[in-house]
Amino acid sequence: MRQAPPAVLLLLLLLLAFLPLGACAGAGGAGGPATARFAAFNTSLSAEGTADSPAYLAAAEEASPLAEKARAVAAVLRAVRPDVVLLSEFDDAGDGRSIARLVAMLQEEGGAGGEPLQYTAAWHPPVNTGEPSGLDLDADGAVGGPGDAWGWGTYPGQFGLLLLSRFPIDAADARSFRLVRWADQPENAMPAGFYPAGVAEELRLSSKTHADVGVRVPLPGGGEREVRVLVSHPTPPVFDGPEDRNGRRNADEIRFWTRYLSGPETAGVPAVLLGDLNADPFDGEGDPAAIRGLLAAPGVRGVPTPASAGGPAAAERDGGANATHRGPAAHDTADFGDAGPHGPGNLRVDYALPVRLEPLGAGVFWPADGPMAEAAAAASDHRLVWVDVRVD
C-alpha cells in the first residue's frame, strides 16, 4: 500500500494546523450540548493513467477531469461542512500530496459551495485493493492482474479511504481488520467449491479494509469525548458469475460489522459507522438481509433514515429500473445506471450510522435542482450522506 510515512503525515498535519479554521457543524456552543456532523462520501477520486503509472490528483493539470471532479467534491464538502468525513475511492501515492491538494481546494476563497473549510487531521489507512496476493483468486487459471489482488484493483492503494476531521484522530490506536481471513468468519457465505484448496483458506474478507479509529470531540465545558469511527467499503455485489462470490463477500463484509457491534469490544462505546457499503435494504443485487441486519444491530436500531429531495426527482427522470424499485427513492444515495445487466438504478448504498449516540438530524446531499445539484452530479455518481449527533 502506498501510505505516507509518519514524517510525511506529521508534516501534513502541522501544515493544516496553521491554516485558518473554517466553520463546521459542531462541537456545540458555550454551555450548549456537544454536537458533531459525521459524513460519508464516495468521491470517485481514484488516480487516472495506467496500472504501471497511475496519475494522482497531486499531479493533475488544473483543467483535467480529475482536478475538475476534485473541485466539485470540495464544493459539496463546503456546502455540507461535516466535522468528520470519510472519503471513499480517494487515492494518494503515499506522500500526502494528493491529500494536501484536496485540502487546499477546500480552503480556496470564493470557491463554490460556501466558505473555506478546514480540517486539521487526516488518516489514510492501508487497503487491500491492488495488493498482489500471489494466488489465482479469480479462478482464471493465471496469477496476476486486478482480479488476483486481495481486493480488486490495478495498483496498490486504488479505491483508498481518507478520513478528514477537525477533531484529533487517534491513528496510533486504530484497530485494523484488513488481514482478517474470510474463511475464519462464523457461518461465512464463501461459495463452496469455487476457490481451490490453498486459496480459500488465505482469502481476506475485506476488499479494502475494515477499521475502527477514535476521534476526540471537544466538549463545551472542557474536556473531550472519544467517538469511534468504523470505516469500510465492501466490494460491489456484481461483476462475478453464478457462484456469486462478490455478492457473498459483500454480505459477509457487512455482517462483520453486525457481529462487531454485538461484541465486547464495542459494548457501551459511542461510534459512527461510515462508508459506501454497496448494499441497499430493498433493491439491487446485494443480499438485503445483510444490510438489514446491520440496521437492526445493537445501538443502531431506530436511527432515522437520511433523505433528500433530489433522489425522487432523479428516479422519476431516469426511469428504467427505478420504476420497479421497492425502496423509497428519497433514501437513495447513488445515481447508478438504469439499464443493462449491471444497471440497478438508483440505490441506497452509502451510510452514516450513529451507534449509541443520539441523532439530531440526517440527510443525503442531493438537491433536486440548481448549481449545487450540478456540483453534486459532477463530483460523483454517489451523494454525500450525513448525520448530526449529540456527543456529550
pLDDT for 29 equals: 56
Condensed to tens digits (0 to 9), the pLDDT of residues 274-304 reads 999 999 999 999 999 999 999 999 899 888 9
Mean residue pLDDT across the chain? 92
Q: For 353-374, what is the mean pLDDT?
A: 98
> Does the pLDDT at position 27 exceed 80?
no
> Does the pLDDT at position 25 exceed 60?
no
Core vs surface per residue 68-94: b (16+ CB within 10 A) or e: ebbbbbbbbbbbbbbbbbbbbbbbbbb
Where do the structural domains in the chain lie, given as residue ranges? 6-390
Condensed to tens digits (0 to 9), the pLDDT of residues 74-119 reads 999 999 999 999 999 999 999 999 999 999 999 999 888 999 999 9
Of 383, 319, 320, 379, the residue nearest 350 (C-alpha) = 383
Q: For 368-383, what is the mean pLDDT?
A: 98
The superfamily (CATH) of domain 6-390 is Endonuclease/exonuclease/phosphatase (3.60.10.10)
pLDDT for 12 equals: 53
Q: Of the given ranges (11-25, 166-180, 311-325), which has the lowest mean pLDDT?
A: 11-25
**Helix, strand, coil percentages, rounded to 5, for the chain:** 25, 25, 50
Q: What phi and psi values does residue 187 have, to the nearest 5 degrees? A: 50, 45
Burial (CB count <10 Å: 0-12, 13-18, 19+), residue 211: buried
Condensed to tens digits (0 to 9), the pLDDT of residues 250-274 reads 999 999 999 999 999 888 999 999 9
Q: Name the band, by pLDDT with cuts 50, 70 and 90, for residue 28.
A: low
